[in-house]
A and B are shown apart, each in its own frame.
Chain A
Amino acid sequence: MTETRGDSAAPPPELADILARHGGKPHRLLQVLLEIQASRQRISPQVAVEVAESLGVPVARVRGVIGFYAFLAEKPWGRYRVLFSDNITDRMLGNMELLTALCEKLWVEKGRMSEDGLVSVDTTSCTGLCDQGPAILVNGRAIANITPQRLERIAELILAQTPLEAWPEELFAIEDHIHRKDILLDHGLQPGDALRAALARGAESQAEQAANARSWREGHGGGPSGPAATLEEIKRANLRGRGGAGFTTGLKWEACRNAPGKIRYVVCNADEGEPGTFKDRVLLRAYADLVFEGMTVCAYAIGASHGFLYLRGEYRFLLEPLNEVLARRRAAKLLGPSILGQAGFDFDIEIHLGAGAYVCGEESALIESLEGKRGVPRNRPPYPVTHGYLQQPTTVNNVETFCAAALIAKHGGDWYRAIGTAKSAGTKLLSVAGDCARPGIYEYPFGTSVRQVLEDCGAVNTLAVQISGPSGVCIDGSEFDRRIAFEDLPTAGAFTVFDSRRDMFEVARNYTHFFAHESCGFCTPCRVGTAMLKATMDKIAEGHGTPYDLAEIEKLDKVLHLSAHCGLGHTACNPTLDTLKRFRPMYERRLKSLEFEPAFDLDGALARARQMTGRDDAGAHLSMESEP
């Protein structure tokens, strides 16, 4: 394959521009590579060397980073790269048939670039458009609601080599689909309201004043008096993280505020990669001010001067609108030096893009990625609150958590904790998708039953609901009175509905492929175990499964639970075990015999030899079953 144009001789000027703009800082590596990838559709070894020299890192490390992220590549993918979102909801909407049709239309094989270097077609992990799937990405730009007609149009645009910028704008339309609003989605705040409330919240006791002085000792002098009071409200609200793990936000902020360090960071985790989750997409699109306001409240409470929003690469289309909001907030003195005129309250936010790696949703992996490295979860302790970005105290919270924090800053902790249940304060956004009449965003007070959600979204004949995506739990009809709450069904927000037509084995198998694809490969159990789990599920799907294989799944689960490095590995077997427990017949009807069977097709293993020898006699074939 010849080099794509512009990559051969002297580097085109924009490479120098990109490198100059990032000022030779090694922790800008991922951002540099993303920009190069966008402008050239690849990062060739020569370019990798230039990047390495410019940033002062070994070229092996540059290539290591390229190899880690799904949206970066050394080899060309073609001038158009079409990626089909491959969440189970996309599958249920026929994405594979559409993919096959597109491949035929474009004369390409899945996963391979066309001979003329024009196009490649492949799958990618859930792109967060499950409420309007099937969805695709074309050179990183999201397109929802793929129908055969729309796909036909896309194929024509590609064949005509129409630049992506010139594609009709309506192709890229994304809907919010908000169906139920509560305190968060109906917040009624104007930009700055929460911050003003926080600044006005004075310190009432001597203890608070002393705590304030300590909080502002580093970097801000003794000016504002309200950070400890704001932190107190967050604690009083009993706010817990909305990313899934549910850690108490107030404790996290407090630990970060009290940690020794030169500089503190606020990081918003917008790497919403859990298949079936898309509520952060809507918050970032329609509620960006609230997100940034919450981050700024956090900065105020912990004494941070710098913030990052880590935006998953799949949401690249949100980058420009988000930057516009940031610019507007700067102009309104809601960001930048001396926010709202408060001397010493300096804080700004920068957006970093991810590049297709689910594991970066784990907070320490996200920080590694922010530092421009491979997104491998760190060893903990130490935790990010003391040793986060550049080893400095860092608070990482979910998009929705920051929104809730802004509400609490405005209305107070007591107001907030009165909503929801005793152990789960406030409301939760659910990303409802799958077999229901009205997929989209639903906000409920904690304590709402699954049955209620199913009724509201118009789900009928529901067989199962996957709560919180593949790393959450799968429940069946006998459990629909269970409640969305930390004490019952904790969730990061995914609520995927399966009706009685669905085969839960295939659901689990899809999730198993997802984990194997997204394992970072750092630790042995996850790297090898997720691949083995995938192979075992495929073996069962191909009709070679036996009880022996079910026992092997349980063995893998034990190893992953006991020894995996992070949550990805710990939960990788959950979809399989959950569905095995609740829908065992869907597995057992696939088990052909009680005796062991090979995972591979024995007769197929002779095909090459038959071809080479021209034989087709009885001896040139093998049956799968042992002859009596």
Chain B
Amino acid sequence: MSETAIFLLDGEEVPFEPGQTVIQAALSAGRYIPHLCYHPEFKPHGSCKVCTVKVNGRTAASCTLPAQAGLDVESDTEEINELRRTLVQMLFAEGNHFCPSCEKSGNCTLQALGYDLGVMTAGFRHFFPDRPVDASHPDILLDFNRCILCELCVRASCEVDDKCVFALSGRGLSKHLVVNAESGLLADTDIALTDKAMEVCPVGVILKKRVGFAQPIGRRRYDPDPISAQALRDAPRPPTGAGHCAACEVEE
């Protein structure tokens, strides 16, 4: 028998192409695996761990796990969904997520994931960190209170925009986003409204000013259908930009 490029996801066959990860193949096939830091246009990152699956008895992040013939992947099981719920709860407890006063509500991936997984409470003690906002830029607000440290903006700005406006500093619980300016203020960077980095924030950190409620609550992305019913939206697609940041690839 020739190598059949197929693995099992919750008992159903999923075809894949060489080089695809498990999540890429699953999303291409319209099969949803919950995720936060994965984005179809960027290199896999594997930090949020929400896309964790069980493969042949061991757990792994499906966004960095190479697809292989014969894998037996469990995703939609009570054990794994309970793990995902806890991870989402941890993120809610870590930052300051006040959905009623957030203009991203309804378009927020973290929130949609919480709805879909049935997260009713953060459960843990809230850290209530002090994270001042950066309102220095005339057109863009950075509200770090909601940052989940997924690095999507970091990757978009480096890989696509070729600017590296964002980077991470600190470590552990004090890990935080910094911007590429001596002053540390967004106004002093070369970010533009048209940048890819402006589009990818899954939560309400990077916000265009003055348009927060142009799209009314109730008619937002996750209002009609739960996030799990929108899998193909996250299916792999080629990068939209051709930016390349020399500093991102020290080795080349």
Contacts and interface: CB of A to CB of B under 8 A. Distances in A.
Report A-B touching, CB under 8 Å.
Answer: yes
B112 interface: no
Contacts of B45: 379
A157 interface: no
B202 interface: no
A112 interface: no
A539 B173 CA distance: 18
B250 A48 contact: no
B90 A532 contact: yes
Given A60-B169, A371-B251, A552-B124, 20 more contacts: A56-B247, A57-B247, A58-B164, A58-B247, A59-B180, A60-B167, A60-B178, A61-B164, A63-B178, A67-B169, A68-B171, A516-B172, A521-B170, A521-B172, A532-B124, A559-B86, A562-B59, A563-B52, A563-B83, A565-B49
A392 to B, nearest CB: 8
Nearest to B45: A379
A177 interface: no
A58 B94 contact: no
Interface in A508-560: 516-525, 527-532, 535, 552, 555, 558-559
Nearest to A528: B90
A523 B171 contact: no
Contacts of A519: 171-173
Contact of A66 (B48, B125, B127, B169): B169
Given A45-B182, A58-B247, A527-B173, A559 B83 contact: yes
B201 interface: no
A357 B171 contact: yes
Contacts of B250: 26-27, 371-373, 390
B86 A45 contact: no
Contacts of B64: 379
A116 to B, nearest CB: 27
Contacts of B44: 379
B175 interface: yes
A66 B167 CA distance: 12
A372 B248 CA distance: 12
Given A48-B182, A528-B93, A599-B125, A562 B52 contact: yes
A223 interface: no
B147 to A, nearest CB: 12
Interface string A380-418: 010000000011000000000000000000000000000
B249 to A, nearest CB: 9
A321 B118 CA distance: 60
A528 B173 contact: yes
A63 B91 contact: no
Contact of B172 (A59, A60, A518, A525): A518
A63 B175 CA distance: 12
A222 interface: no
A235 interface: no
Interface string B35-59: 0000000001111111010000001
B232 interface: no
A78 B245 CA distance: 36
A342 to B, nearest CB: 30
A530 B181 CA distance: 31
Contacts of B52: 562-563
Nearest to A49: B182
Given A521-B173, A528-B93, A60 B180 contact: yes
B66 interface: yes
Contacts of A42: none
Contact of B251 (A379, A390, A523): A390
Contacts of B184: 45, 63
A531 B127 contact: yes
A46 interface: yes
Interface in B141-195: 148-149, 164-176, 178-184
Contact of B47 (A26, A68, A565, A599): A565
Given A521-B170, A524-B47, A562-B83, A529 B251 contact: no
A240 interface: no
B180 A529 contact: no
A309 to B, nearest CB: 20
A64 interface: yes
The 8 A-B pairs with the shortest beta carbon distances in the complex, nearest first, are: A67-B169, A521-B175, A60-B167, A60-B180, A58-B164, A528-B90, A57-B247, A519-B172
Majority SS at the chain A contact face: helix
Interface centre among B59, B90, B91, B184 (most CB of A within 10 A): B90
Contacts of A26: 247, 250
Contacts of A390: 250-251
A520 B247 contact: no
A273 B49 CA distance: 26
Interface in A57-91: 57-61, 63-64, 66-68
Contact of B169 (A63, A535, A559, A564): A63
Interface centre among B172, B173, B182 (most CB of A within 10 A): B172
B231 interface: no
A60 B197 CA distance: 15
A374 interface: yes
A64 B66 CA distance: 29
A389 B152 CA distance: 25
B246 interface: yes
A525 B173 CA distance: 11
Contacts of A61: 164, 167, 247
A59 B181 contact: yes
Contact of A64 (B59, B127, B169): B169
A563 B49 contact: yes
Interface string A556-574: 0011001111000000000
A192 B250 CA distance: 35
B6 interface: no
B198 interface: no
B87 interface: yes
Contacts of A516: 172-173
A516 B164 CA distance: 29
A271 to B, nearest CB: 15
Interface centre among B148, B166, B250 (most CB of A within 10 A): B250
Given A59-B182, A599-B125, A523 B49 contact: yes
B180 A58 contact: yes
A60 B94 contact: no
A66 to B, nearest CB: 7
A217 B165 CA distance: 44
A56 B246 contact: yes
Nearest to B95: A528
Nearest to A535: B125
Contacts of A48: 182
A115 to B, nearest CB: 24
A49 B184 CA distance: 11
A520 B90 contact: no
